[in-house]
A and B are shown apart, each in its own frame.
Chain A
């Protein structure tokens, strides 16, 4: 079977719609290992992809003022049991542009796979970018995922990212995002990860609210069971007047799993306000009993609660 078919198969298994990757009106980029196997530009978006020894360098530009009607689809994956895939990306969203990305990363057979997303993202003044990344790792747990991003949000711009890994083993995830937000801009980072077996989940998020009136939210939802480990380090800085930031972390822990949460709030302007909340523990008793009172078994009830938290 060709790589494209295998990627499409894995993409579908992770909840994607393969037809969208064949639709010429949808911008897309499909990469298997270090090979670009699909690229479609539409008006207002330019994409350049250059193979590297262990991955692909991508430059993606959205022209100023352009509103892209449908999400841009990005599909990355490694089909063999081992390999390295490094995606070095540079996203430039022009002033006043509006674009959403749907990314699927699939490693269905991974025994020894390393996937690095090393991104530099610039969201122009008044521009809006939404980035939703879903991972599917299979049941082997043999994958190391390192999503790294440095994001600049311009004046009045907004950036929202959601990283979701709720199917299959997480393996080792080391998520590291740093975001700087200019005046009246906003940033929202969502990380939703389920880990089990001996999975390790590390989330490091930093939002610096540098411009007057900037807003930031870092939200983490981690569900761990068996011997999985989770650590969440969330830092939000309020560095200008009228900035508002919040860190919101919930980790559900079962079996022998261990979770840490370290929220750091830093304010350097007396008119800034940054708050945080973190909760680590087992499934909420009242939620559990409510579902049991509807006739669900305990296993079904826990699954509903965890999936709601991860997918909501």
Chain B
């Protein structure tokens, strides 16, 4: 790092990741600045979710090379909970269904100290009211409500970096404008957001955007530029781009 220059919040360098013998990420370079909203846009199968889960440290992925730096510290080999304690968190595309856990308990799990006001604020940020607090996350909530609770849980944590995997999919009555408001609110509180999506409309929320294809970041730049390239040139590949274990590494 150059003296006097602050390291980016997240810096991913030449990251190569495999799952079940297939190389999915094939040299990803990405940078996210503190307090910014960065969208990674890509078609299904481009490696978006693998990138999200790898950054979080989820199991089932093998890092073949490259590094993940958070505020200049190499976290590539750190387990999920260590990354979370550094301020990194993830909202899954399909939230887990916990049995017997109330919304209040679920939202409070990421808080170092109990703060009920923050929980209410988090619910309000995703257009849910306090009546949801005693309800169980696995019972009586629609898929869309469950997903909003997931976003509220991330919001309640005040993370340094929130990775949101397709937050706009399957959400009922929670519009893109609502998501944009939530992202902006998080950014104004100092949280950076890395938003993963295949919907080009989402790019309007971002400060910066990147286009991912075949496990590589093809371009990073202003949201409009990335959106134009995505809509004009990206179409599903006839065959997914994968590299067999024996071909690329062993």
Contact = CB atoms under 8 A, between A and B. Distances in A.
Interface stretch (A6-14, A93-101, A228-236, A280-288): A280-288
Interface in B30-51: none
Given A292-B80, A294-B157, A295-B110, A312 B101 contact: yes
Nearest to B157: A294
Contacts of B90: 293
A295 B84 contact: yes
A311 interface: yes
B125 interface: no
Contact of A290 (B85, B96, B99): B96
Contacts of B98: 287, 290, 304-305, 308
Q: Which secondary structure characterizes the binding site on chain A?
A: helix
Given A290-B95, A293-B89, A295-B110, A309 B100 contact: yes
Nearest to A298: B81
Contacts of A292: 79-81, 84
10 contacts: A221-B99, A289-B80, A290-B92, A293-B88, A295-B85, A295-B89, A295-B157, A307-B100, A308-B98, A308-B101
Interface string B224-247: 000000000000000000000000
Contacts of B99: 221, 250, 308-309, 312
B59 interface: yes
A312 B137 CA distance: 11
B223 to A, nearest CB: 27
Given A298-B81, A308-B100, A285 B109 contact: no
Contacts of B97: 287
Contacts of A298: 81
Given A284-B96, A292-B79, 8 more contacts: A287-B96, A287-B97, A290-B98, A293-B83, A294-B153, A295-B81, A308-B101, A312-B136
Interface of B: 56, 58-59, 79-81, 83-85, 88-90, 92, 95-101, 109-110, 112, 136, 138, 153, 157
In order of increasing CB-CB distance, the 5 nearest A-B pairs are: A312-B100, A308-B100, A294-B110, A292-B80, A295-B84
Interface in A209-233: 221
A246 to B, nearest CB: 15
Interface of A: 221, 250, 284-287, 289-298, 301, 304-305, 307-312
Contacts of B153: 294
Q: Which of A294, A301, A308 has the most CB of B within 10 A?
A: A294
A304 B109 contact: yes
A310 B97 CA distance: 15
Given A292-B81, A294-B157, A304-B101, A286 B92 contact: yes
Given A293-B56, A294-B89, A286 B96 contact: yes
Given A292-B84, A295-B84, A311 B56 contact: no
A7 B34 CA distance: 58
Contact of A285 (B59, B83, B110, B138): B59
A287 B89 CA distance: 14
Contacts of B56: 289, 293
A298 B157 CA distance: 18
A291 to B, nearest CB: 6
Contacts of B80: 289, 292-293
Contacts of A308: 98-101
A294 B84 contact: yes
A308 B109 CA distance: 13
B100 A291 contact: no
Contacts of A312: 99-101, 136, 138
